[in-house]
Each structure stands twice: as structure tokens, then as C-alpha cells.
A and B are shown apart, each in its own frame.
Chain A
Amino acid sequence: MFAVEAIKLAKTFQTRQGPVKAVRNVSFAVAPGEIFGILGPNGAGKSTTILMLTTLLRSTTGSAKILGLDVDKDDAAVRNKIGVALQETGIDEVLTGKELVQSTGRLWGLSQSKASERSAELLSLVGLTDAADRRVKTYSGGMKRRLDLALSLIHQPQILFLDEPTTGLDPGSRRVLWNEIIRLRNEGVTIILTTQYLEEADALADRIAIIDNGVVELEGTPDALKASIGGDVILFSFETKEIAKRAGDSITNSEVTGRELRTTVNNGPQSIPNLFSILQANNIEAVAVSSSRPTLDDVFLKVTGHKLEAVKVHENDDLGNHGGV
């Protein structure tokens, strides 16, 4: 059984200005224990997709299942199994972090003592122990995100949905959240996260869906997506131009520029020994060799026809408060 399954999800909002097709065709399946990344630019339909998957918004057409449960028909059961941290954090800033986590725990049905136990545990997990008794109003953007993560984990959900968990954060805060997300995955939590950042999808996700204009254009592991571009790029360097030229004569499908030779192969690491033996057979010695993969940038450009421009907002984040993770 899949942890999450989206089947031809679509959502059209009716507005005064006319219908807005926020999501047109989103299908994917996430296996238990995976980190699944939904990568797309601002306005691609990521948040709308998350809202539909988490029972908070009804799809116009299509359906979705969480652990086999239908998000429309079994919404209460689904909500018990999932944790959600939406893009808008929805935190009452007059309360302290501890008050918020404790009261949320009680609303999930924990006893007073269990709730304070769990609250202490979660706050330490996200590195907010020192700030626990401060009002959320005084928290930085990164701290609010981490508090939000703690809130979404209170009822120990099997599946976690994170909508742009690191957008607008500085690199330090982002790293803290990444570590926490990986730790959760290692504990067996299935994670669906959306992002505008190629590096983030690349670093975290086991599999990625590229979404643009409300449509999932391509889906697969980061490596498979890059491989779809047509293999790896192998780069040889030689002592002299002449040697490079001779190498070019012996290796088919290669390009020589100066003292360098470039060739595209299906699988770089596997091909390098072959290429070396060809050179050896011709008595040619290489100075250096490297194999590089196409980046997700290349993939995104190829499937959508445009580059992914992430919104680059960096809030001032208080790096001093990230201890404890």
C-alpha cells in the first residue's frame, strides 16, 4: 500500500475574476518511508496540492488516498495519521512556545503530564528548549518554522506534509531543518515536502515530482531525472593538445577543445575504466578525468521550457538559537 497516492488531482477556484485553475493534473505515489519532494516555482500549485492531500480542501476532480484511506470520505481518520505544517504557520504569537505545544498536545487527546513530557521532548528536538518560555512573537522566522514542525509532530503522525519548510530561511536555519527532516525519515516517517529550491529537492528527496502550472511534468529519483537528460559528462585532460587530439581519434563520439576531451556516456563511473583501457591501448596517458551529471537545473529547463527561479528572500534569522539539534 502506498503512503500517499494522488490520482489526477485537479482544483479550480471560482473567483470574482473568473475560474483559476490552480492544479490541473497531479498524480504520484509515495512509498512508506520515503522523502518525496514536490519541486516547482511560486504559483505552480504546490500549496493547493498539499491542502487537498491533507483533507483541508476538496479537489474539483481526481482523488487522493492516504494509507489507503480516501481524503474526502475518511477525512477524520486521515487527519489522525498525518502531520501538517502549512506554508502560513498559523501560530498564536501571544503564547509561548511551550504553551502552544502543550495545549496542542492536549487537543490531540494527551493527558496533562503526557502533554508536558511530549512538549519538552519536541521542543528540545527542534532546538527550542531555551526559547520555550518566550512568546512566539519574539521568535525569528526559522524558529517559528521549527516550532511549527514540533506542532505537526505531536500526535506522532506516520506521514508528514511540509509546505515550503525552508522558504525565506537563511542557510543555517535551513540546514537545521534539513537535519531534522532526515532524522524523522530515519525514524520511519514518510515525508512529503514542497520546495522552490533545486538544491533542497536534490539533497533531501528520495524522489521528486516536478510541478509547473498545476501539472506534474516529470517524476523520479533525482538521479533518474538527471539521467533522463542523456547520461553523464566525462571530461579528460591531457598534457598537450597533440595528445588530446590523438585521444579524440581513438574515442568515438568525443569533442576535443584544447587539451581537454569531452564525451557523453550513459553511466560515467561504469564507463571510465573502459575509456581508460582504450587510451592505454593507444599509449595515451591522461592527466585528469572527471564525471559529472546534469543538474536538476538542466532537467527543469528541459521539461518546463523555462528556468526555475526560486524566490530568494532571506529573513534575518537568529542563528544563536539553533543549538541542541
Chain B
Amino acid sequence: MAIDNSGGATFGLQLWILTKRLLIRVIRRPYTELPTVLISAFFLFVYVGQLDKVFGGSAMPSSIDFSKGNFVNFILPFSIVSASISGASSGINLVEDIESGVFRRYQAMPISRWAVILAPMLVGAVRVFFQSGLILSLGILIGASPATGPIGFLAILGIAFLWGMGFAGYSVAAGIRSGSAQGAQAATFLFFPALFIAPTFVPREALSGWLSSAAAFNPTTYVIEAMRGIMIDGWISESILKGVIASGLFALITLTFAVIAARKVTEKN
């Protein structure tokens, strides 16, 4: 009887163990990841197929050349951002843990609530990271070539990671608040306005009316613009900074909301 368990594990170790467990779960159920990859790839091909000639400046004389002749470069960030919907699985996973009693088991152990919430968010970010990598590779196959070279791809993946974490946090918060997998699922409807009240198919200057003003409040806007800058214009620090801040802030806010929601659930009432 000589185990010193007075402190439990450090926060970093807690986070790593909880994250590892969720990652193992993803790896052992890989087929659940398939739909979002397919959707993102579908978006990429369909938009390139439909809009390349209009915006890509390749065929029509009336084309608008904001993509500097490579529409794949322009639309690829949108495909990547759309992969963030896979972050929603994080919320569903967490609800499963609440329903199965895993959450309560954690409650009986010396584990930080922040680690319990942050772990599925990190796993969401990893999901989005890998899915984005896949989409990027597809993009290269069909002609994407970033102004910033291969390092640019890494930068884009980094932003995708942060953004995925935020979206995962959002779904985790929604799952805890609603207490059901359906709730977590239903809350992802916000994904669509987030994706389309933004400079999705054209630059922000081309948006008009309310959409133009609303897009300014959508963090997705800055994420897409940062990635587009890297793809088309090179290292433009201002837009990259804005993208990082927008996705980082979003992740921080959703994390805080999720922890507050978790505190309510575990308030022992």
C-alpha cells in the first residue's frame, strides 16, 4: 500500500491520456470519418467543375480573374474549411461518454474538467487536420499550387487545426448543453451559415448588402481569407494573423462555454 496518489497525474499527462484514448477510438472506427472527407472532396470537384471557367479566367473572355488564373487555389480553402464539420463528431463522442457513465467515472477521479473537455476538442482538431491534408493533396492533384510553396501547405494545415478545434469545441458545448447526441448533431446546422455567410465563392469585396456586413462577423471569413492569401498572394502577415486570431479566439470561447456547461452537468444536483 505505498502508492502516492495524492496529486493524480499532471494536467498535461491527463490531457494526453484522455486524448490518446479518443484517438484510439477514431483509429478503431475509421469508417465514421469517411462521410466528411467525401463531402469535402465532393465540394472541391463540383465547385471547380462548375466555376472554373467563370472565375478561373481560362476560357471565357468575361471571366473575373480574382484567382489569378488558378481557381483551384481559390476554392481549396473553402473545401478545407468544410472539412471542419468532422469536428462535430467530438460532441457526439462526448455525449456517448456522458450516457455510458464514462464522464461520471472521470468525476470520481482527480481529473481536471478542462482536460476532459479539451481532449475531444484536440481530437476534433486532429481529425480536421488529417482531412484537410487529404483535401490539400487532392487539390494538388487537380492543379493547386500555392504562391508560398510547400511551407504554405503546412501553414494552411496549422490554421485548419485551430479552426477544427473551435468547431469541435462548439459541438462539445452543444452536446453537453443538450445532453443528447441528437442535440450535438442538430447544433451543427450552424455549420451552413458559417460556411456560406462568408466569401465562399468570391472575394469579400464582391459580396453585397447584408451578406457583406454579416460576413465580417463570421470567423470563417478570416480563416478562408488567411488560407486564400497563402494560396494566391504569398505571405501576407495581416490576413494570416487575422485568421489565426479568429480561429484561436473561437476555440477559446467554445472551450470556455463547454467547461461552464460541463460544470452545470456535474454540479452534483
Contacts of B25 in A (CB 8 A): 92, 94-95
| Choice from B97, B101, B103, B108 contacting A79 with Cβ under 8 Å | B108
**Nearest opposing residue in chain A for B98, CB measure:** A90
Q: How far is the CA of A274 from the CA of B269 in the complex (A)?
A: 59
Q: How far is the CA of A118 from the CA of B1 in the complex (A)?
A: 12
Do A90 and B104 have beta carbons less than 8 Å apart? yes
Contacts of A110 in B (CB 8 A): 3, 5
Known interface pairs A54-B108, A107-B9, A107-B109; A94-B17 also in contact (CB < 8 Å): no
Would you call A293 an interface residue if the criterion is a C-beta within 8 Å of the partner chain's C-beta atoms?
no
Known interface pairs A56-B107, A103-B17, A108-B9; A90-B3 also in contact (CB < 8 Å): no
Do A156 and B3 have beta carbons less than 8 Å apart? yes
Instruction: Give B228-269 interface residues, CB cut-off 8 Å to A.
Output: 267-269
**Nearest opposing residue in chain A for B25, CB measure:** A94
Instruction: Give B6-48 interface residues, CB cut-off 8 Å to A.
Output: 6-9, 13-14, 17-18, 20-21, 24-25, 28-29
Q: How far is the CB of B104 from chain A (nearest CB, A)?
A: 6
Do A58 and B21 have beta carbons less than 8 Å apart? no
Bits for A49-60, please: 1 = Cβ < 8 Å to B, else 0: 000001111100
Do A108 and B269 have beta carbons less than 8 Å apart? no
Q: How far is the CB of A217 from chain B (nearest CB, A)?
A: 27
Chain B: interface size category: 20 to 34
Q: How far is the CA of A88 from the CA of B108 in the complex (A)?
A: 13
Contacts of A55 in B (CB 8 A): 108, 268
**Nearest opposing residue in chain A for B29, CB measure:** A94
Do B102 and A92 have beta carbons less than 8 Å apart? yes
Would you call B62 an interface residue if the criterion is a C-beta within 8 Å of the partner chain's C-beta atoms?
no
Would you call B4 an interface residue if the criterion is a C-beta within 8 Å of the partner chain's C-beta atoms?
yes
Known interface pairs A106-B13, A108-B5, A109-B8; A58-B268 also in contact (CB < 8 Å): yes
Do A155 and B100 have beta carbons less than 8 Å apart? no
Do A58 and B269 have beta carbons less than 8 Å apart? yes
Do A109 and B4 have beta carbons less than 8 Å apart? yes
Contacts of A54 in B (CB 8 A): 108
**Nearest opposing residue in chain B for A75, CB measure:** B268
Do B9 and A88 have beta carbons less than 8 Å apart? no
| Choice from A14, A57, A90, A156 contacting B105 with Cβ under 8 Å | A90
Do A76 and B110 have beta carbons less than 8 Å apart? yes
Contacts of A14 in B (CB 8 A): 269
Contacts of B110 in A (CB 8 A): 76, 79-80, 107-109
Do A99 and B8 have beta carbons less than 8 Å apart? no
Chain A interfacial residues counted at CB < 8 A: 32
| Choice from A58, A88, A109, A156 contacting B7 with Cβ under 8 Å | A109
Would you call B111 an interface residue if the criterion is a C-beta within 8 Å of the partner chain's C-beta atoms?
yes
Known interface pairs A110-B3, A155-B3; A94-B105 also in contact (CB < 8 Å): no
Contacts of A182 in B (CB 8 A): none
Contacts of B100 in A (CB 8 A): 88, 90-92
**Nearest opposing residue in chain A for B27, CB measure:** A94
Instruction: Give B75-101 interface residues, CB cut-off 8 Å to A.
Output: 97, 100-101
Do A99 and B1 have beta carbons less than 8 Å apart? no
Instruction: Give B132-167 interface residues, CB cut-off 8 Å to A.
Output: none
**Nearest opposing residue in chain A for B102, CB measure:** A90
**Nearest opposing residue in chain A for B1, CB measure:** A156
**Nearest opposing residue in chain A for B3, CB measure:** A156
Do B24 and A109 have beta carbons less than 8 Å apart? no
Do B101 and A109 have beta carbons less than 8 Å apart? no
Interface centre among B17, B20, B108, by most chain A C-beta atoms within 10 angstroms, is B108
**Nearest opposing residue in chain A for B103, CB measure:** A90
Would you call A86 an interface residue if the criterion is a C-beta within 8 Å of the partner chain's C-beta atoms?
yes
Do A57 and B268 have beta carbons less than 8 Å apart? yes
Q: How far is the CB of B80 from chain A (nearest CB, A)?
A: 28
Do A155 and B13 have beta carbons less than 8 Å apart? no
Interface centre among A57, A89, A107, A151, by most chain B C-beta atoms within 10 angstroms, is A107
Do B28 and A94 have beta carbons less than 8 Å apart? yes
Q: How far is the CA of A7 from the CA of B13 in the complex (A)?
A: 38
Sample (23) of A-B pairs whose CB atoms are under 8 Å apart: A58-B267, A76-B110, A80-B5, A86-B105, A88-B100, A88-B101, A88-B104, A89-B101, A90-B101, A90-B105, A94-B24, A94-B28, A95-B25, A103-B20, A107-B9, A107-B14, A107-B17, A108-B5, A108-B8, A109-B6, A109-B7, A110-B5, A155-B3
* Supplied contacts A91-B100, A92-B102, A156-B3, 7 more A-B pairs, CB within 8 Å: A55-B268, A58-B268, A80-B110, A86-B105, A90-B105, A95-B21, A107-B111
A interface residues (Cβ-Cβ under 8 A, vs B): 14, 54-58, 76, 79-80, 84, 86, 88-92, 94-95, 99, 103-104, 106-110, 114, 118, 135, 151, 155-156
